[in-house]
Structure 1
């Protein structure tokens, strides 16, 4: 394996973090990685936000039905997409993946929390004072993994069971 595939295969969804700030350089580099994501017709229909304020993290944790752990994260990124762009979901999902992998390259763990089509979508947008032409696609709490956090790879389907060449069997 090379460095890139090692990073890709080593990433895990982590929900428990040390009480240690994410360095500004890591935050900026992760957002740069998001900015470099592939995008349909080079539309770049995204807006990337970050919060490290405890009160905002607590509010995000209250709002996100499957992201209560955001309240205890040192940082949380938010990816918003332009509602009127045809491929905003695909583009912003690619950016989210890039952001998560950019964090992991620095040893900073994260967990993708859904935003698009969620009940709290508008509340998060308003909390972060994002204009209404944008919609929340994802929240990404981030931090260094807490002691005891499982870094074991979850069981994956077998390669031959999920891949094919030319036609399926």
Structure 2
């Protein structure tokens, strides 16, 4: 919902652009990297490959994602036999996460395409603007506005978006 005055972008323009960025990158990811492994799933595989034995809480911290998002992704990856939960106890010992051999192979297979995809995205931003754009996006990604917006609730679960027809 762009603002009426195109010379003065408004807050809703930002919301629209963020929605488009998320949807377009998710849809392009499916074509360029994998139709079966979402960006979130890939980032979980990457994080666990880099630090095997970490917990779901570690993943939440590393990826800046909610426990429900990480929990759902971990469950889906365990079901696909590419991620394994180990340990845990009735006394509250954390469950550690490791990639199965198939999970490591999947990560190794997708990593080059994911890197190329990320490089292609970055290449679209003029070099002199990249640092500023990344800093602005990090600020948006890490700001919790729920306490400043009347009636706002905690952030909703982060889910992958569906592609629109013909995308």
Q: What is the TM-score when the length of structure 1 is the normalising length?
A: 0.27
Greater fraction strand: 1
The structure richer in helix per residue is 2
Q: Which has the higher contact order (CA 8 A, sep 6+)?
A: 1
Structure index of larger Rg? 2
